Structure 1
Amino acid sequence: MPETRFTIRWPDGQVETCYSPSTIVRDFLAADTTYPMTDFLALCQTALTQASARVEAKFGYRCTSAEAQLAAIESRARTFSTSADVTCLSIA
Protein backbone atom coordinates (compact mmCIF):
# COMPACT_ATOMS: atom_id res chain seq x y z
CA MET A 1 0.00 0.00 0.00
CA PRO A 2 1.80 3.17 -1.11
CA GLU A 3 2.12 5.87 1.49
CA THR A 4 1.02 9.31 0.40
CA ARG A 5 2.02 12.70 1.75
CA PHE A 6 -0.09 15.79 1.20
CA THR A 7 1.13 19.29 1.94
CA ILE A 8 -1.32 21.89 3.14
CA ARG A 9 -1.23 25.58 3.96
CA TRP A 10 -3.26 26.61 6.98
CA PRO A 11 -5.09 29.95 7.10
CA ASP A 12 -2.20 31.53 9.05
CA GLY A 13 0.23 30.65 6.23
CA GLN A 14 1.90 27.77 8.05
CA VAL A 15 2.71 24.83 5.77
CA GLU A 16 2.38 21.26 7.03
CA THR A 17 3.05 17.89 5.43
CA CYS A 18 0.46 15.27 6.34
CA TYR A 19 0.51 11.47 6.07
CA SER A 20 -1.85 8.89 4.61
CA PRO A 21 -1.04 5.18 4.44
CA SER A 22 -2.94 4.97 1.16
CA THR A 23 -3.31 6.86 -2.09
CA ILE A 24 -7.04 7.12 -1.41
CA VAL A 25 -6.44 10.68 -0.24
CA ARG A 26 -6.12 11.55 -3.95
CA ASP A 27 -9.80 10.66 -4.35
CA PHE A 28 -10.76 13.41 -1.90
CA LEU A 29 -8.14 16.18 -2.12
CA ALA A 30 -6.53 17.82 -5.13
CA ALA A 31 -3.22 19.68 -5.33
CA ASP A 32 -3.38 23.44 -5.82
CA THR A 33 -6.92 23.54 -4.46
CA THR A 34 -8.33 25.69 -1.67
CA TYR A 35 -11.12 24.35 0.51
CA PRO A 36 -13.38 25.96 3.08
CA MET A 37 -12.36 24.65 6.51
CA THR A 38 -15.52 22.60 7.06
CA ASP A 39 -15.18 20.93 3.65
CA PHE A 40 -11.48 20.26 4.19
CA LEU A 41 -12.17 18.60 7.54
CA ALA A 42 -14.94 16.44 6.11
CA LEU A 43 -12.73 15.35 3.20
CA CYS A 44 -9.82 14.51 5.51
CA GLN A 45 -12.09 12.60 7.88
CA THR A 46 -13.42 10.48 5.04
CA ALA A 47 -10.06 9.98 3.32
CA LEU A 48 -8.06 9.08 6.42
CA THR A 49 -10.80 6.87 7.85
CA GLN A 50 -10.97 4.96 4.58
CA ALA A 51 -7.17 4.78 4.42
CA SER A 52 -7.07 3.27 7.90
CA ALA A 53 -9.79 0.79 6.92
CA ARG A 54 -7.75 -0.27 3.88
CA VAL A 55 -4.82 -1.04 6.17
CA GLU A 56 -7.14 -3.05 8.40
CA ALA A 57 -8.48 -5.02 5.44
CA LYS A 58 -4.96 -5.88 4.33
CA PHE A 59 -3.14 -6.36 7.64
CA GLY A 60 -5.87 -6.98 10.21
CA TYR A 61 -5.39 -3.77 12.21
CA ARG A 62 -6.25 -0.12 11.69
CA CYS A 63 -3.54 2.42 10.92
CA THR A 64 -2.82 4.40 14.05
CA SER A 65 -0.69 6.84 12.04
CA ALA A 66 -3.68 7.77 9.86
CA GLU A 67 -5.85 8.15 12.93
CA ALA A 68 -3.20 10.29 14.66
CA GLN A 69 -2.86 12.45 11.54
CA LEU A 70 -6.61 13.02 11.46
CA ALA A 71 -6.63 13.94 15.15
CA ALA A 72 -3.80 16.42 14.55
CA ILE A 73 -5.63 18.00 11.61
CA GLU A 74 -8.84 18.28 13.64
CA SER A 75 -6.97 19.81 16.58
CA ARG A 76 -5.19 22.39 14.44
CA ALA A 77 -8.39 23.23 12.56
CA ARG A 78 -10.11 24.13 15.83
CA THR A 79 -7.70 27.05 16.21
CA PHE A 80 -9.21 28.75 13.12
CA SER A 81 -12.59 30.11 12.18
CA THR A 82 -14.87 27.69 10.36
CA SER A 83 -15.03 30.29 7.57
CA ALA A 84 -11.26 30.10 6.99
CA ASP A 85 -9.72 28.32 4.00
CA VAL A 86 -7.09 25.58 3.76
CA THR A 87 -5.05 24.99 0.62
CA CYS A 88 -3.78 21.60 -0.47
CA LEU A 89 -0.47 22.50 -2.11
CA SER A 90 0.65 19.07 -3.29
CA ILE A 91 0.07 15.35 -3.02
CA ALA A 92 2.99 12.96 -3.47
Structure 2
Amino acid sequence: MPLTTVAIEISNGKMETLYYPSSVVKDFFQVDQQLKFLEFVELALNSLKESDKRVTAKYGYPCIGCAILKQRLIKWEQLYKYETVKIVKIHEFIY
Protein backbone atom coordinates (compact mmCIF):
# COMPACT_ATOMS: atom_id res chain seq x y z
CA MET A 1 0.00 0.00 0.00
CA PRO A 2 1.32 3.47 -0.79
CA LEU A 3 2.45 5.61 2.12
CA THR A 4 1.05 9.12 1.72
CA THR A 5 2.20 12.16 3.66
CA VAL A 6 0.18 15.31 4.16
CA ALA A 7 2.10 18.43 5.19
CA ILE A 8 -0.02 21.03 6.97
CA GLU A 9 0.52 24.54 8.26
CA ILE A 10 -1.54 25.62 11.25
CA SER A 11 -2.42 29.32 11.43
CA ASN A 12 -0.26 29.72 14.55
CA GLY A 13 2.80 28.96 12.36
CA LYS A 14 3.25 25.33 13.39
CA MET A 15 4.07 22.88 10.58
CA GLU A 16 3.23 19.17 10.84
CA THR A 17 3.41 16.12 8.61
CA LEU A 18 0.78 13.39 8.84
CA TYR A 19 1.51 9.85 7.64
CA TYR A 20 -1.24 7.73 6.08
CA PRO A 21 -0.90 4.06 5.08
CA SER A 22 -3.10 4.64 2.03
CA SER A 23 -3.53 7.14 -0.78
CA VAL A 24 -7.24 7.43 0.08
CA VAL A 25 -6.38 10.62 1.96
CA LYS A 26 -6.11 12.33 -1.45
CA ASP A 27 -9.88 11.91 -1.75
CA PHE A 28 -10.32 14.13 1.32
CA PHE A 29 -7.73 16.91 0.92
CA GLN A 30 -6.21 19.07 -1.82
CA VAL A 31 -3.03 21.14 -1.83
CA ASP A 32 -3.69 24.79 -0.84
CA GLN A 33 -7.02 23.84 0.74
CA GLN A 34 -7.76 25.89 3.88
CA LEU A 35 -10.04 24.65 6.62
CA LYS A 36 -11.09 25.48 10.14
CA PHE A 37 -9.15 23.17 12.42
CA LEU A 38 -12.20 21.26 13.67
CA GLU A 39 -13.33 20.68 10.07
CA PHE A 40 -9.82 19.47 9.23
CA VAL A 41 -9.87 17.00 12.14
CA GLU A 42 -13.26 15.64 11.07
CA LEU A 43 -12.03 15.02 7.52
CA ALA A 44 -8.71 13.63 8.76
CA LEU A 45 -10.49 11.16 11.05
CA ASN A 46 -12.79 10.08 8.22
CA SER A 47 -9.81 9.54 5.92
CA LEU A 48 -8.09 7.52 8.66
CA LYS A 49 -11.17 5.33 8.95
CA GLU A 50 -11.02 4.61 5.22
CA SER A 51 -7.26 4.00 5.35
CA ASP A 52 -7.70 1.58 8.23
CA LYS A 53 -10.42 -0.30 6.32
CA ARG A 54 -8.04 -0.76 3.38
CA VAL A 55 -5.21 -1.99 5.60
CA THR A 56 -7.51 -4.41 7.43
CA ALA A 57 -8.89 -5.74 4.13
CA LYS A 58 -5.40 -6.30 2.74
CA TYR A 59 -3.56 -7.60 5.81
CA GLY A 60 -6.32 -8.91 8.07
CA TYR A 61 -5.63 -6.63 11.02
CA PRO A 62 -6.05 -2.91 11.77
CA CYS A 63 -3.32 -0.33 11.21
CA ILE A 64 -1.49 0.78 14.36
CA GLY A 65 -0.34 3.92 12.53
CA CYS A 66 -3.96 4.95 12.02
CA ALA A 67 -4.67 4.49 15.73
CA ILE A 68 -1.64 6.59 16.69
CA LEU A 69 -2.52 9.40 14.27
CA LYS A 70 -6.13 9.35 15.47
CA GLN A 71 -4.99 9.94 19.07
CA ARG A 72 -2.68 12.72 17.92
CA LEU A 73 -5.52 14.46 16.06
CA ILE A 74 -7.85 14.16 19.05
CA LYS A 75 -5.22 15.85 21.27
CA TRP A 76 -4.72 18.60 18.71
CA GLU A 77 -8.46 19.18 18.52
CA GLN A 78 -8.41 20.93 21.91
CA LEU A 79 -5.08 22.70 21.39
CA TYR A 80 -5.87 24.23 18.01
CA LYS A 81 -9.66 24.36 17.85
CA TYR A 82 -9.67 28.09 17.05
CA GLU A 83 -6.97 27.85 14.38
CA THR A 84 -7.15 27.21 10.64
CA VAL A 85 -5.15 24.70 8.62
CA LYS A 86 -3.65 24.89 5.15
CA ILE A 87 -2.77 21.72 3.24
CA VAL A 88 0.74 22.48 2.02
CA LYS A 89 1.74 19.26 0.27
CA ILE A 90 0.46 15.74 -0.38
CA HIS A 91 3.06 13.19 -1.40
CA GLU A 92 2.49 9.54 -2.26
CA PHE A 93 5.34 7.05 -1.89
CA ILE A 94 4.80 3.92 -3.95
CA TYR A 95 6.99 1.01 -2.98
- Rounded to whole Å, the distance in 2 between the matches of 1:12 and 1:77 is 14
Post-superposition Cα deviations, 1:7-66, rounded to whole Å, max 9, x if no partner, equal: 011231110111000000000011111111121011001001110111000000111101
Root-mean-square deviation (CA), in Å?
Answer: 1.1
Question: Normalized against structure 1, the TM-score is what?
Answer: 0.91
Matches within 5 A, 1:1-92: 1-80=1-80, 82-92=81-91
- Report sequence identity in percent: 29
Give the length in aligned residue pairs. 91
Give unpaired runs (5+ residues) of structure 2: none
Question: Normalized against structure 2, the TM-score is what?
Answer: 0.89
The one of the two structures with greater contact order (alpha-carbon pairs below 8 A, sep at least 6) is: 2
Give unpaired runs (5+ residues) of structure 1: none
